[in-house]
Amino acid sequence: MDASGLPLLDRRIADCRACPRLVSWREEVARTKRAAFADWTYWGRPVPGFGPADARLLIVGLAPAAHGGNRTGRMFTGDRSGDVLYEALYDVGLASQPTAVHAHDGLELHGVRVTSPVHCAPPANKPTPEERDTCRPWLVQELRLLRPTLRAVVVLGAFGWQAALPAFAEAGWSVPRPRPAFSHGARFHLDGLELFGCFHVSQRNTFTGRLTPTMLRDVLRTAGRVAELPTRGGQEADASPGD
């Protein structure tokens, strides 16, 4: 397998109907919509990963938001969590712009790909363990395709961490047992790959200050440098009283 197969994988993911509960939910949301997006034609399908096929840094989230990725068709696009993530990527020099509004807004990621262990929007943002495990083969295939260039991974949140580690093992990396525990700032070495833990960019974390813009930028910048991607700024340079 090589990176040329990633576009095909993305198309296959977008056609998946393996989890009846998720299929029903994502399509119901796409029909009923939110009032603020009444004029949108929702994507209403599984959301594939976003970013170049030769990415050196991978960001792993949880699942698309019902009125974010499920609406726009692009990972972390059109919701508050994505606003935080892409602004931080832009701040450290890994994205072409700080906003992600729709799938054709011109956003490009520099050496970074964004994906999730569950590709359909789940009710209450909570996939079941069975849904997580059913979706895992997609992440395994994506990891295998990215392996030739991949050097660092940032996993957002404990759910993503618990879902990603078995996928890394199935994709051929040697994951220690017991498996490393999640924490913000966790860092582990897996066969030429650096794995970083970061609190999720959910509103619950960002609104309460559990995850600040500076904390997020620090993790992304460190991971970017490990991946040998050109980054900008530093902790002192980009910190501000508002962080």
Distance CA 100, CA 228 (A): 25
Question: pTM of this prediction?
Answer: 0.93
| Residue 141 identity (one-letter amino acid) | Q
Q: How confident is the prediction along the chain (243 residues), in pLDDT tens digits per residue?
A: 444 599 999 999 999 999 999 999 999 999 999 999 999 999 999 999 999 999 999 999 999 999 999 999 999 999 999 999 999 999 999 999 999 999 999 999 999 999 999 999 999 999 999 999 999 999 999 999 999 999 999 999 999 999 999 999 999 999 999 999 999 999 999 988 999 999 999 999 999 999 999 999 999 999 999 999 999 987 544 433 333
Q: What is the pLDDT of residue 191?
A: 87
- Buried b or exposed e, range 136-173, using 16+ CB within 10 angstroms: bebbbbbbbbbbebbbbbbbbbbbbbbbbbbbbbbbeb
How many residues are there in the chain? 243
Answer whether 88's CB lies under 8 Å from 238's CB. Answer: no
Q: What is the pLDDT of residue 233?
A: 84
Q: Helices (DSSP H) in 65-121: which residue ranges?
A: 69-72, 80-91
Q: What is the pLDDT of residue 200?
A: 98
Distance CA 141, CA 6 (A): 9
Strands of the 187-190 sheet, one edge to the other:
112-115, 57-60, 152-156, 193-198, 187-190
Q: What is the pLDDT of residue 237?
A: 40
Answer whether 167's CB lies under 8 Å from 60's CB. Answer: no
